[in-house]
Structure 1
Amino acid sequence: MKTANLLIFLLLPFFCLAQSTFKLKGKIASEITTLEWADISILNSEGKIVDGTTTKQDGTFEINLKKGSYKIGVNLLGFEEYEKEISIENDTDIGIIMMKQNATKLVEVVVKSKKKTIEQKTDRLVYNLENNLTTVGGDALSAINTAPGVVVKNDAITILGKGTSRVMIDGRIIELAGEELNNFLKSIAASDIKSIEIISNPPAKYEAEGTGGLINIIMKKGVRDSWKNSTTASYDQNKYGIFTLRDNFFYNKNKFRFSASVNAKTGYLNVTDDLKMYFPDGLSHMNSVTKVKTENLSGKIALDYDFSERTTVGLQFLNDRNNPDFKSDISINNYNTQNQLDNITLNKSNTDKGSGNQTYNVHLITKLDSLKRKLSVDVDYFNYNSKFDRNFIANNYTPDMIFVDVNQAGRNISNQDIDNWSFKADIEHPFHAINLYYGAKMSFTNSISDVLYYNTISGTPELDPNQSNRFKYTENNQAIYVNAEKKLNEKWNLQLGLRLENTQTNGVSETLNQETNNDYLKLFPTFYASYKKNENNSFSLNYGKRINRPRFDLLNPFRIYINSNSYSEGNPFLKPSFSDNFEFAHSYKEILRTSVFVNAVTNGYGVLFTSNPETNTQIVTRENYFKNLSYGIGESYSAAFADWWQSENSLYLLGAKTEFIRDIQATPSNSMQVDFSTNNTFSLGKTTKLQVDFSYSTPFKSGLYEVGYSASFDIGFKQDLFNKTMQIAFLANDIFNTSYLKDYTSVVNGVKQLYSTNESNRFVRLSVVYNFGNKKINVKERAFGNQDEKKRTGN
């Protein structure tokens, strides 16, 4: 009741200002007939689209608008664009607008103006992907990595200074994380992406999950009454080769919209790992070489049907399969305190690994009345399953490579199955004075995971019950939210939101006879204010509270052996962490952008690389062990040094203060970090472009860990052919092989660990893209409503 009263109190001023709207109507025609499906756009005094529609079969249209001055735009393929200033004081009929045909009406209309690569908005930064050549033939994951202030490393997508980020497609969360999220994003062609939004403080309509904000992928759209097919073939060469083939088909006719896509990838990656552990009795140096199969097959089918001018229903089905089997050769050299080689352990393993997910979505969108109130309803079902089956044997040898004995031999089997139902309803409720959004969501998740460990040192598999477990986990979430936007005047805009989330969890370890329950109710406020001083200068201030819930697999207290001297285990007692995010930004001519931010994390959890000095064993676990205050300043500069040279540059200065909230036998340390990147595009002709990129991040300390430098130098080339229906692109990525994780250092329980890993970041790519169809199409991409749960299924 207190929460409801608080919502009413905060939003009452907005409701009091609500006013009625007026009707704008008209008719679109040519010299010989009325024109159906003409796109009508209404722009405000700032040139932003505030509303729009399409003409009916008889060429008429109607739009409800607030009192004020606008610009109406009309666009239809084969006709010249139309624009006119209008003033709305009451109901208005602008009569018949006559459209003029283009002289070359059979040729596809090409828009000459080029969008800015980076655009600053009140609550997000928009990165227009079409200007980046290095993403041609690539996928969504590589495209995200080119976005300003975003870093993809070690299966984590991070906004600099914020933490790990969630990912959305067209405003709906993808419920996958880690390796599974990356595999899903690799199945999406970068050529189908229009822009990427970096939302450091998401509004209340989005789930409060994720301390690092949101990355929103906006898919390309076009005009109605058309079809299009896009085929992409690419080949990557690192130590091994990877071949990718993608095909996307779209059909949009009258009331029916259909899309289908198939994505396939096959090949191998070479992954190297190097770990040094300085135990009291000497150094243990592990080196690993792994050949990882890259095998992915995914598909998507979506269709929508307009039952009436107000109501649309649709469904989607997505299936994604991955089979990243791998074979590892691991050598462990053990030294004594005099740094003399004592013995060698050789560990060979073969791993059968696979995962799959199916997502079903049914949705309804309906306009409730002439005031443009709109209801969206989603029902989703999601299933995720994974398997992990590793056989390994580790033999001990003398320094002269004379066999001594078998160190360890075993078979580690782990399986996980997750089911999720989600129900969500959202309402857009515009008034004259404010735009109001509110809604609710419920989700129900069941997870079963088990691990079996067999000791095979005798040659006969023997089940070890102390290292085997079955874990059941359920999680239910209920959420309501309200969000209001208010334009005070031509200079000030405000946005206020509140989201209330209630969560119940239950985890049961059958083997350990252990049960863990959680039940918590949390309120997540958001606030945004923007001020446009003049045409050259604009400012914004925002705040948001977020939650970071542990992924399902991290809660399972099972143990999986990485090698004979290293294993990973989950923690059923992990609790969510919370963050408070503040950001102040300034934009000068939309060329120079400055951002100052602070991010405070409480009850933070993360990976702990601990060790047992008695057995010289590394233990990878997760704990709630810290609180952290991150801060920084970011500068980005867009420049056109010449008509043929466009440049995007960014510089970030980052710092942090970390405190450990429990005794983990370690001392926190922090230092400043500098991150710099420059992307330069050179036009060598109307159809030929060259891009040269460079990025560099200094070594830094952050809490428990110290991280080495990272750098990447990339060159991309693109040639358009046959009136841009075909593109040939070449990319040399990370030419000097310096972008991998290096010198990842921690000291816990008196043992120093130094780790580096390289996952074939250096490669060359050749891509061919071929598009055909009658027009550019307008397909409404829609992601799934239960994406909040899918994210946490990753490895």
Structure 2
Amino acid sequence: MKTIILYALLLLPLWAQSQVQLKGNVKGNNEPIVWANVILTDIQGKVITGALTKEDGSFELELKNGSYQLKISYLGFTAWEKSIQIEKYTDLGNIVLQQKDDLQEVKIVAKKKLVEYKTDRIIFNVENSISASGGNAVSAIGAAPGVMVLNNSISILGKGATRVMVNGRLIELNGDELINYLNSIAATDIASVEVITNPPAKYEAGGNGGLINIILKKGARNSWKNTTSAIYDQSTYSFYTLRDNFLYNKEKVRLALNIGGKIGNLKETENLNTYYPNGLWELSRVGKQKQDNFSGGMAFDYDISDRTTLGIQYSGNQDNPDSKSGTTIKIRNTKNQIDSLLINDGLYKLSNSGHTYNTHVITKLDTAGRKLSVDLDYFNYNSKIDNNFVTNTFLPDMGFLNINQSARSISEQNIRNTSIKVDMEHPLRFVNLSYGAKMSFINSKADLAYYNTISGNAVLDKNQSNEFEYQENNQSLYVNGIKNLGSQFSFQIGLRMENIQTKGYSGTQGQTTVKNYLKLFPTFYLSYKKDENNSFLFNYGRRVNRPVFRDLNPFRAYLNSKGYSEGNPFLQPSYNDNFDFTYVYKGNLRTNLFFNSTTDGFGVVFNSDPVTNIQIISRQNYFKEYYYGIGESYTVNVIPWWQSQNSAYVLGSKSVFNGLVSATPKNSLQLYFTTNNTFSLSAVTKIQADYFYSSPVKRGLYETGQLSGLNLGIKQSILKNKLQLSVLVNDVFNTAYLKDYTSVVNSIKQVYSQNNSSRFFRFSLAYSFGNDKVNVKQRSLGNEEERRRTN
């Protein structure tokens, strides 16, 4: 069957007129050889083309008919050479390299650079990274320069939480769900990871965390592939994850299907010490949260003609992360003696679902490169929370005193978003121009019913119930231009305009909040390549960080009898000016300097009332901040089988409060260090050892304690790399969780820590079959920013 497909490819008109294919499979010691150098020269010795062998030892070259000299070499083996005459498709089959007896005579052959630096992004070539190729998309992202993966959160140094895309399509997941999804993507399927600290004008202006774009490898037509992965996680409790991805690409049709689910439980622990004037309150919570999740998606593209493609796309998920927890508050007096205890038993039922629909058309207008893209998107998100809790008061000897509080709160939220987006690529003789427009319409409805159940009957408390409706319309335009000045200079400049109208209405309070604003968001990039060893890059971008919808909702959600969380309908967006300078030496040593300025900054404020001893978690626009840092990153092959990637940063900040919180800003320097090391015991066996350290730091309202973590893993490939077995011990010493998170508001000190099973054991299997050269186009959705804000 494979032979028939290959001959069919050879009969395609384009190939018949230009090129044929040469392929083979390189082995040594009865195992595939990965990254062997395959060089093709003409009879005069001039290099025509070349490649590196893949994980299964295979290689493919596209070339014209003629006479050539083929040379294949790899560290520790004798080079293989052969003169060949190419007139048609040629498969050389297995090529066996003989191991050398004297390794001292081996020469190291240069490879493609691991990291490339463009005017607006860093490109990390995963294909050339031993560390990344030994794992999945999470390890590939974590190995990229300046990227941190910590506590199931992905961020770029100097930024906030970072959004992740696959081939330009935003993945609308966060936390554990995002990590689990990325775990299902094998690093062997990834060509590169793009780190975009300041996204160009084409992208939404919302969000200050930058973008990470995963570029999948391109594949051949008339092929398909299926990958099934199973993961078992064990800490205090265990959960299981199963996922399947199917890709199909034939002639005019491209299809991608994925489905997955997770079931099990996770242990949650929290501790909060609040130092009231009358004594310390010690809160400790232990919970058991379900990890039940089901998700799936489909993408279909059809080439109507050589120039026009029509496509549809769907993704959906259903989560039920119910939790059952017990909270104990020890109330101490000024002599540090326990006066009483509050014991809260809660049952938290949560159900949420999201559905995204996209239809798009892409058409090439001419042969000069003009291309028009139109996207129509619809997104619907539903969430329901049913929270039951009872708080009893006990004496120090555990004698029952009274029922402090008993209640049930039921809340629902529904978000709908419709958007249309048009993008135009318009190359001109003097500049590569692109421009576009977008219109977005958002409607969010939420309500909360609070019932007092202390009498045994559910009695509605209207003072603690509410209805809230939020509407937001966004009209945006952008223009972006790229220009190369010779071989050394390149610059890019862009401008995005966004016009926003918002309206929030609280039914219970009878309060309407209306806001309208028009803002401009410029971007600028400049690169200078002095020579092969020295490159300089500078970029600037202005961004806006809009509140997620739940932060605008004034609902009061009770965490226990002495604490609640509430949103703020008057919350304003914050604005960020980001400056970044990078110097690169020989492609391996990178010096980075950044400076970010935030105005109208908003965030969570932990406030405590010294009279009622009630904990209030609110959201406020309360600060202005300057955040800066300088760091070095260095990648080195210590010895042929040991690759090490290291980075060290010194970070600092200066914060100013506007008086909305009764607190004094605190700032200090921070040291952040990380090292990722991969040891290749053979072509199919790899050991990974990663470590990070973050010193204690004071930044604005909060102080964070020291963090560090050691992860150890091993990966084994069998069945010609079709089956991947991995074992991971995450956070070996259980030190990578949030601790000593301290704030002082209203002269009341609070110290918080949280550990949601940071240390765990993971065993995973991934099996692939079909044709691993498949390529299915992924389409970026038009309402990426709106869906992000539902999280």
> What TM-score range do you get, normalising by the shorter chain?
0.7 to 0.9
Q: What is the aligned counterpart of 2:372 among 372, 375, 379?
A: 375
Residues 439 and 713 of structure 1: is their aligned pair in 2 closer, same or farther, counting only changes over 3 Å?
A: same
1:627 matched to 2:608? no
* 1:82 aligned residue: 63
Q: Comparing 189-198 with 567-576, which one deviates more in the overlay? A: 189-198
**Is the CA contact 1:125–1:199 (under 8 Å) kept in the aligned structure 2?**
yes
Q: In 1, distance between residues paired with 2:95 and 2:132?
A: 32
1:294 matched to 2:291? yes
Q: In 1, distance between residues paired with 2:181 and 2:561?
A: 31
1:579 matched to 2:579? no
Q: In 1, distance between residues paired with 2:637 and 2:60?
A: 32
Q: In 1, distance between residues paired with 2:352 and 2:9?
A: 53
Give the partner amino acid of 2:92: A
Q: In 1, distance between residues paired with 2:453 and 2:140?
A: 45
Q: CA deviation at 1:206?
A: 0.5
* 2:707 aligned residue: 710
Q: What is the aligned counterpart of 1:35 among 10, 15, 23?
A: 10
Give the partner amino acid of 2:10: L
Q: What is the aligned counterpart of 2:766 among 766, 769, 777?
A: 769
Q: CA deviation at 1:165?
A: 2.7
Matches within 5 A, 1:29-178: 35=10, 56=14, 59=17, 80-82=61-63, 100-104=89-93, 117-129=114-126, 131=129, 144-145=141-142, 147-152=144-149, 157-174=154-171
* 2:35 aligned residue: none
**Is the CA contact 1:137–1:234 (under 8 Å) kept in the aligned structure 2?**
no
**Is the CA contact 1:176–1:790 (under 8 Å) kept in the aligned structure 2?**
no
Q: What is the aligned counterpart of 2:351 among 345, 354, 360?
A: 354
Unaligned segments of structure 1, at least 5 residues: 1-30, 38-54, 62-70, 85-96
Give the partner amino acid of 1:494: F
Matches within 5 A, 1:256-655: 256-655=253-652
Q: CA deviation at 1:83?
A: 8.0
Residues 155 and 611 of structure 1: is their aligned pair in 2 closer, same or farther, counting only changes over 3 Å?
A: farther
Q: In 1, distance between residues paired with 2:663 and 2:164?
A: 33
**Is the CA contact 1:133–1:690 (under 8 Å) kept in the aligned structure 2?**
no
Residues 114 and 469 of structure 1: is their aligned pair in 2 closer, same or farther, counting only changes over 3 Å?
A: farther
1:226 matched to 2:215? no
SS at match of 1:793: coil
Q: In 2, distance between residues paired with 1:306 and 1:169?
A: 21
Deviation track 1:634-687 (CA, whole Å, cap 9, x = no partner) reads 211000111011000011110000000224110001000111000011111121
Residues 144 and 396 of structure 1: is their aligned pair in 2 closer, same or farther, counting only changes over 3 Å?
A: farther
**Is the CA contact 1:137–1:768 (under 8 Å) kept in the aligned structure 2?**
no
Residues 60 and 309 of structure 1: is their aligned pair in 2 closer, same or farther, counting only changes over 3 Å?
A: farther
Q: CA deviation at 1:72?
A: 9.2
Matches within 5 A, 1:659-738: 659-738=656-735
**Is the CA contact 2:441–2:472 (under 8 Å) kept in the aligned structure 1?**
yes
Give the partner amino acid of 1:759: N
Q: In 1, distance between residues paired with 2:94 and 2:689?
A: 38
**Is the CA contact 2:439–2:475 (under 8 Å) kept in the aligned structure 1?**
yes
**Is the CA contact 1:134–1:716 (under 8 Å) kept in the aligned structure 2?**
no
Q: CA deviation at 1:550?
A: 0.7
Q: In 2, distance between residues paired with 1:32 and 1:261?
A: 31
Residues 446 and 34 of structure 1: is their aligned pair in 2 closer, same or farther, counting only changes over 3 Å?
A: closer
Deviation track 1:688-721 (CA, whole Å, cap 9, x = no partner) reads 1111111010000000000011111011111111
Deviation track 1:420-474 (CA, whole Å, cap 9, x = no partner) reads 0110111111223321111111111100011111111111011111111110001
Q: CA deviation at 1:352?
A: 0.7
Q: Comparing 345-354 with 115-124, which one deviates more in the overlay? A: 115-124
SS at match of 1:553: helix
Give the partner amino acid of 2:785: D
Q: In 2, distance between residues paired with 1:239 and 1:450?
A: 36
SS at match of 1:163: coil
Residues 496 and 466 of structure 1: is their aligned pair in 2 closer, same or farther, counting only changes over 3 Å?
A: same
Instruction: State the TM-score, normalized to the length of structure 2.
Output: 0.87
1:254 matched to 2:251? yes
**Is the CA contact 2:135–2:715 (under 8 Å) kept in the aligned structure 1?**
no
SS at match of 2:550: helix
Q: In 2, distance between residues paired with 1:404 and 1:388?
A: 30
SS at match of 2:91: coil
**Is the CA contact 1:150–1:159 (under 8 Å) kept in the aligned structure 2?**
yes
Deviation track 1:492-536 (CA, whole Å, cap 9, x = no partner) reads 001110111111110000011000011111111000000001100
**Is the CA contact 1:221–1:780 (under 8 Å) kept in the aligned structure 2?**
no
Q: In 2, distance between residues paired with 1:640 and 1:134?
A: 14
Q: Comparing 638-647 with 182-191, which one deviates more in the overlay? A: 182-191
Q: CA deviation at 1:134?
A: 8.0
State percent identity of aligned pairs. 54
**Is the CA contact 2:134–2:686 (under 8 Å) kept in the aligned structure 1?**
no
Give the partner amino acid of 2:645: E
Alignment RMSD: 2.7
Q: CA deviation at 1:768?
A: 1.3
* 1:198 aligned residue: 195
Q: In 2, distance between residues paired with 1:407 and 1:153?
A: 38
Q: In 2, distance between residues paired with 1:715 and 1:154?
A: 16
Deviation track 1:68-111 (CA, whole Å, cap 9, x = no partner) reads xxx99799999643389xxxxxxxxxxxx95551222999xxxx
Q: In 2, distance between residues paired with 1:254 and 1:207?
A: 33
Residues 189 and 567 of structure 1: is their aligned pair in 2 closer, same or farther, counting only changes over 3 Å?
A: farther
Give the partner amino acid of 2:467: R
Q: In 2, distance between residues paired with 1:183 and 1:33?
A: 39
Residues 732 and 327 of structure 1: is their aligned pair in 2 closer, same or farther, counting only changes over 3 Å?
A: same
**Is the CA contact 2:350–2:386 (under 8 Å) kept in the aligned structure 1?**
yes
